[in-house]
Structure 1
Amino acid sequence: MSIRYLKHEEIDKLKWDKCINRSFNGIVYAYSWYLDIVSYQWEALVLDDYDAVMPLPVRKNYTIPSLKQPNFTWQLGIFTSKLLDEKLVVTFLNAIPEKFRKIELAFNAFNKVVHPKYQIKNEFTYQLDLITPYKEIYQGFSPETKEAIKRTKTNKIQIVKQVNLKDFLLLKKHTGKAPLTFENLNMLRRIIPFTISYNLGEVFGAYSAENDLVAAAFFIKSHQKSILLLSACSDYGHEIRANVAIANSYIREYAERNITLDFGNDEKEDSKLFAKGFGAIPVSYPYLKKSNWLVNIWFKKEKIFLL
């Protein structure tokens, strides 16, 4: 068994994507085209002839090399179609070059991590299996969610698929508590059209009775999993629960299919309650951190300098 560290230009992306495609724990974030968008010049660890792979999202804007979880990428880690046990995970972690002095990475739910050199905590996402009929799934909705669905019908909310990208991003820009940066906007302008053109993504929108876009959500899918990657909702949209109408419409459309809806890893309590309201259950995945006090001091000074 041999694990190789590869620079970006050394990665065989055809073999890489074949590995991700056949991995039992594959996820859309791990495909080379997605990594090219969210982590320019990412590097990798590769087992033998791409039997298992681990992307290394390199942070290039600091003098000290670091690995940082990219935006719009909730989970990465190790991907394989082979046996994936704790021993293999440790072997990959030990193969990360020592030059990466600061590491903050979210692994996927199938990577069981125990390592003395890393601080490890469990993060959570919320998932809902859609394989059963809609009526059965609906029975698992909370009373509050059922009431919200009734309210959206009273307010004549209309759900439309494939909302215009510009309209979606404008809604997000004007309604988000944390405004999208120029870098993030550019990422989304590449991710969303690409996934839609290859039938991997959909943007659902909610329109008011006055034909105003009051909520929208972008779903991205692969490996029998659909992820709510990004959403936006105006004040009026929140008032009439337009976001609930979108999620309900998506669940109704994809019910009785072998798909798991992932509501994402938003840590805000409102987002957790939103997912739980549809009967979604928490699924944990490990978040790893590694650094030393000298590196932490340097990063703090660097941030002050950048400000």
Structure 2
Amino acid sequence: MIRRVKYHEIDFQKYTKCLENSAQQNWYAKKEVLDELSGNWEILIYDDYRAVVPLPLKKKFGINFVIMPLFCQQLGVFSEKDDIEVNDRFLQFLKKNYKVFLYSFNHHNSFSKSLDTKKNYTIPISDYVLLRRKKYFKGRKSTAKCAQHLIYKEIELSTEHISFIEKHFKGLQKETDIKKFRDYMNFLHRNSSLKLCAAYLEEKLINVAVMVDEHTQLSLLALINDETYKTENGPSFLIDKILNKYIHEKEFNFMGSNIRGIEIFFKSFGGELREYPCLQSRILKKLS
């Protein structure tokens, strides 16, 4: 039986235990992360927290809609073993009882009928030398090699670095979105989960990779580039250095993109496609 549980009714001890024992393991389903990114959310549960589905909510047009928060890629069903029958029940309950603007399941979730999908690319824990030799595109090897005059540094979250990120971050037009990203970086920093890696041309900061740093995974939130120095190939240099340093112990999650050029960039480092299902209202998409 599927049951809706509002935020103030959630047994967070059972919820957390379900997440920790789940086959899906996802940073974004954690209470503290959803509190930060959504603020307004509830859950669906199956058989006393045997499986859970976190649902972020946002009021639009005076109505509460299910919608993925900014900077949150995947949620979905969390259970000890992914079960198509249970997933189907959750999906039907979601369709029947909620107005869904956009909801992204995780790449482990399977359903009896096909849903729309979005693309993500990851690199599993690997030997860097073999990864570079066998899976890098030839052009990417060359580009990274040509950028070795740059300097790699891991930097702290400071006023100077926040200013660089805000100035050069593409894709965030609203001031409220920029503030949300700044707040999220501060949240990650407070929780010892933020990693900032940078490329310098002599003393000049030209690229910054903003990542969520988990125990077994690095997730790329943003790759910030000063376009004045585009010919220096800083993005290729930076990702290559990060993989060289960490891919032997941590999976690298590019956090996906449906933009062709960015998708090819991810694939050129040996990124493996992991599509994840999503539910989206076509009508609501037009109204957004």
TM-score scaled by structure 2? 0.90
* Structure-2 change in CA distance of 1:113 and 1:223 (3 Å): farther
Find runs of 4+ consecutive structure 1 residues off by over 4 angstroms. Answer: none
Give the drift of 1:221: 3.8
Q: Partner residue of 1:107?
A: 105
Equivalent residue number for residue 53 of structure 2: 54
Query: Does residue 222 of structure 2 align to residue 190 of structure 1?
Result: no
Range with greater deviation from structure 2 (139-148 or 88-97):
88-97
- Contact 1:65 / 1:102 at 8 angstroms: preserved in 2? no
Distance 1:244 1:114 in 2: 40
How far apart are the structure 2 equivalents of 1:145 and 1:277?
Answer: 6
Counterpart residue type for residue 10 of structure 2: I
Q: Trace 1:233-272 onto structure 2 (pairs within 5 A).
A: 233-257=225-249, 259-272=250-263
Asked if 1 retains the 8 angstrom alpha-carbon contact of 2:166 and 2:178, the reply is no
- The answer on whether the counterparts of 1:29 and 1:35 sit within 8 Å (CA) in structure 2 is yes
**Size of the alignment, in residue pairs?**
287
Cα distance in 1 for partners of 2:264, 2:141 equals: 13
- In structure 2, the residue matched to 1:203 is 196
User: How many angstroms apart in 2 are the aligned matches of 1:279 and 1:63?
Assistant: 45
Cα drift, residue 149 of structure 1 = 1.4
**TM superposition shift of 1:160:** 1.4
- Any conservation in 2 of the 1:128–1:260 contact (CA below 8 Å)? yes
Within 5 Å, which residues of 2 pair with 1:159-198? 159-198=152-191
1:221-279 deviation line (CA, Å, top 9, x unaligned): 4473321112210113432111112111111111322x321111122222112111111
The answer to which of 157-166 and 4-13 deviates more is 157-166
What is the distance in 1 between the residues matched to 2:274 and 2:231?
29
Say if 1:105 and 1:288, in contact at 8 Å, map to a contact too. Answer: yes
The residue aligned with 1:94 is: 92
Please state how far the C-alpha of 1:34 moved relative to its aligned partner.
0.8
Counterpart residue number, 2:217:
225
Residue 82 of structure 2 aligns with which residue? 84
Structure 1 gap ranges (5+): none
1:284 counterpart = 2:275: yes
The corresponding residue for 1:13 is 12
Identity of aligned residues (%): 22
| SS of equivalent residue, structure 2 residue 60 | coil
The amino acid of 1:166's aligned partner reads: T
Instruction: Encode CA deviations 1:276-307: one digit per residue, 9 max, x unaligned.
Output: 1111121111121247x6xx49x73xx6xxxx
- Counterparts of 1:287 and 1:223, CA distance in 2: 27
Q: CA deviation at 1:31?
A: 0.6
**Partner Cα separation in structure 1 for residue 2 and residue 174 of structure 2:** 36
Q: 1:136 aligns with which of 123, 130, 138?
A: 130
Mapped to 1, the partners of 2:166 and 2:186 lie a distance apart of 18
Q: Distance in 1 between matches of 2:181 and 2:197?
A: 15
Q: Name the TM-score, length of structure 1 as normaliser.
A: 0.84
Rounded Cα–Cα distance in structure 2 between residues aligned with 1:224 and 1:129: 10
Give 3-state SS (helix, strand or coil) of 2:255's partner: coil
Equivalent in 205, 217, 231 of residue 213 of structure 1: 205
Change in 2 beyond 3 A, CA 1:113/1:165: farther
- Rounded Cα–Cα distance in structure 1 between residues aligned with 2:12 and 2:99: 26
1:114 Cα offset (Å): 4.0
Cα 1:271/1:168, change in 2 over 3 Å: farther
Deviates further, 28-37 or 173-182: 173-182
What CA RMSD, in Å, does the superposition of the two structures yield over aligned residues? Answer: 2.3
Amino acid at match of 1:148: T
> Unmatched 5+ residue regions in structure 2?
none
CA distance in 2, matches of 1:125, 1:92: 23
What is the alpha-carbon distance in structure 2 between the residues aligned to residue 129 and residue 23 of structure 1? Answer: 19
Q: For the structure 1 residues 48 and 187, does the alpha-carbon distance in structure 2 shift closer, same or farther, using more than 3 Å as the test? A: farther
CA distance in 2, matches of 1:6, 1:278: 42
> Per-residue CA shift, 1:36-71, capped at 9, x if unaligned?
111111111122332211111111233232111111
- Three-state SS of the structure 2 residue aligned to 1:96 is helix
Closer/same/farther in 2, CA of residues 3 and 221 from structure 1, 3 Å limit: farther
**Residue of structure 2 aligned with 1:157, choices 150, 153, 167:** 150
Aligned twin of 1:73: 72
